[in-house]
Amino acid sequence: MATLKSIKKRITSVKNTRQITKAMKMVSAAKLRRAQENVVAARPYARKLAEVLEKLADNQQTDSHPLLAQRDIEKVLLIVVTSDRGLCGGFNANLCKAAERFVKENRDQYSEINIMTIGRKGNEFLKNRQKVVKSYANIFGTLNYQTAALLAQEVIQGYLAEEYDKVYILFNAFKSVMTQEITLEQLLPVAPPEQAEETPTQYIYEPSQGALLDELLPKNIEVQMFRALLESLASEHGARMTAMDSASKNASEMIGKLTLIYNRARQAAITKELMEIISGAESIKG
């Protein structure tokens, strides 16, 4: 049986851990509010821009712009967005497993599947399991549109250079504090809507079709990339807040159980001492 000193030391250790988990929960809760506001603000613009581009793609010849070109799919790039830090439950593990599942399910369909990781945890998990060609870390601390635009431009340049023929992005979409949905979206090429209109809308372009597509298509990739990063950041804070809340509750339960064990051990020790005193007194009387 553990000694009173070791039990007391363990109670102190668990209490210190509970203080840390409570502090981390409060920090995540504060960051989550700002991240959630950013996601809610970004979604309508990103959704409408994607909708407009899909309709334009449905009205164009496949060779009207390189980012609309539907070429034979041989090489695929999968962008996996995870976090830089842990302690957020299954947030990263579930996403990385989804990435591995994507590779396994599509290995026979495509000749080559490369992975770009955004977030340190994704790279740590996948680098020895899959073909990770590029990795970026420590961007979520100062996440802004310029960072997302640079990443998007690098992806676009790779696509135009035919380093890959299709680009997907895999991330956790923010639904609520306790719910994050693993989402897979196609970034390139810009695909027309699944249910195309029977009579496509005819557009009048100003200044010209080429100039408009040159401006809007890269812009759309930047916006979709930025939205995905914002979704992932909000999901990370929500997942960490939930995980730390659960850890704090578990710590409180453990403290309660250890305190009960400590009190019982202390009571047993006191009883034993009393018995020894009584036995000693009886032997003196005898």
How, if at all, do strands 166-176 and 179-188 pair?
antiparallel
For the record, the structure tokens of 175 come out as 């639904």
How, if at all, do strands 132-136 and 179-188 pair?
unpaired
Nearest to 224 by CA among 194, 253, 184: 184
CA distance 28 to 247: 14
Instruction: State phi, psi for 158 to the nearest 5 degrees.
Output: -65, -35
Do 83 and 140 contact (CB within 8 A), yes or no? yes
State the helix-helix crossing angle for 4-59 and 209-285, rounded to 10 degrees. 170
Segments of the chain assigned E as strands: 75-81, 112-118, 132-136, 166-176, 179-188
Residue 132's CB is within 10 A of a number of other CB atoms, namely 18
CA distance 16 to 134: 39
Residue tagged active-site, from 88, 151, 217, 233: 88
Is 88 among the catalytic positions? yes
Active site residues: 88
